[in-house]
Amino acid sequence: MSHPLEDVRILELGQIIAGTYGSQVLSDLGAEVIKIEAPEGDLGRIPSVAPYRGLSGLFLTFNRNKQSVVINLKSAEGRQLFYDLVKISDVVIDNFRPGVLERLQIDYPTLNKINPRIIHCSVTGFGGAGAYKDLPALDLNIQAISGHMAITGEAGRPPVRVGIPLADISGGIYSSKGILAALFDRERTGKGRRIEISMFDTMLHLLTYMGTMWLTNGEVPKPPGSAHDYSVPWQAFATTDGYIAVATRQEIFWHKLCSVLDHPDLAGDPCFADNPSRVKNRQVLVPLLEQIFRTRTTADWLERLRGADVPAAPVNNIDAAFAEPPVGEREMIVEYDHPQVGKVRLPGNPIKMSDMGKTISRPAPLLGEHTDAVLKTLLRLTAEEIAGLHESGAVGEKKLTKDSGSIKENA
């Protein structure tokens, strides 16, 4: 058993989510991730963010499997240490705002001279150049400006963000994909690449066919709730004790649904004979279906619908979602023991490969936990040299004393 990215070393300069999620995904595939933190630490460590026993649940999640090395990149000595690590690494990832890499003298042209094989990936809000390059790019802002909030929620209601920080997470998803492609290309060319991920770009890409319909047909989508613009019925229906989602894209499922509902007359009604007719007459059909679904429990409907092979699922809260059989069958809960908070349980790796073994799950690191070990084992520094670096302030952490921090340097 082996993990496909064993022997790949990533230097992560990322903070919070956009700059950390991609390397966490790659760590699940075996990459060694060395988190290079400023003396104050990753802003994601702020304990009021998803608080768990005095620490940040966000940090405990997105930094699993990583090592923490504190280097002051504003120090010439610290910067040289970083350069030395770049020489023996494969990837650098950051989510600094445009201009920060150049000010710190760690931009791609500089790193490429040190190691021509280095792959450098930056996650930004709107790209490294252009009219919006200097705008702050928090998840909420990107969800709003990219059009996603305008198509999320119920019609006639205020705009709603996606429940997860999708814009931040999309930066991590696309950065990991770009890094994997660059690693593959390097096997052929021997050369590294510069990768730039804009969260705004990723969210536009995730609009998929809705973006296509606007760009080609001028259709501006409206928030559909749980419904679908082009398929009926395709939505959540209230039951006596919850909600159940039903999707009948093919006509065979519509006929099966009518049978389960004990209303074969609906299938025979010319107004509902095919999907285009049902879309046209949804304002008539949906209230009829809503009235029927309110007569039984979610479990009762689910048993009947699944028994007839009608696509259906309960609308679960998170507790019920993690109780579903595939969670255990596919090892989608992993855990680790953290020295400060004890056992941490969190979602596992969704990428399953033959001969890969179980998901790696090592604790999110304490600030600077691995500084001395990395300097000793990777850079071959002596105890006296390491002590001198601590004394000069080139390495070593500052204790986070208050629940605040600057985001000026991050996307």
Tell me the per-residue pLDDT of 350-405, one tens digit each, with 9 for 90 and over: 999 998 888 889 999 999 999 999 999 999 999 999 999 999 999 998 754 444 44
Q: Which residues contact 240 (CB under 8 A, 6 or more apart)?
A: 294, 295, 296, 297, 298
Q: pLDDT band for position 32 (50/70/90)?
A: very high
Tell me the per-residue pLDDT of 261-290, one tens digit each, with 9 for 90 and over: 999 999 999 999 999 999 999 999 999 999
> Residue 390: its pLDDT value, please?
95
Question: Contacts by 79-83 with C-beta closer than 8 Å and gap 24+?
Answer: 79/104, 79/105, 79/106, 81/375, 81/379, 81/389, 81/394, 81/395, 82/11, 82/36, 82/106, 83/111, 83/114
DSSP letter for each residue of 42-64: -GGG-TTSSEETTEEHHHHHHTT
> In this model, does residue 332 exceed pLDDT 70?
yes
What value does the mean pLDDT of the chain take? 94
pTM of the predicted protein model = 0.91
> In this model, does residue 173 exceed pLDDT 60?
yes
> Residue 398: its pLDDT value, please?
78
Q: Which domains does the chain have, with CATH numbers?
A: 9-206+325-392 (3.40.50.10540), 234-315 (3.30.1540.10)
Tell me the per-residue pLDDT of 136-148, one tens digit each, with 9 for 90 and over: 999 999 999 999 9
| CA gap 254, 97 in Å, rounded | 51
Instruction: Tell me which residues are annotated as active site.
Output: 168
CB 363 within 8 A of CB 338: yes
CB 333 within 8 A of CB 322: yes
**Residues paired with 28 in a beta bridge:** none
> Residue 411: its pLDDT value, please?
61
> Residue 358: its pLDDT value, please?
84
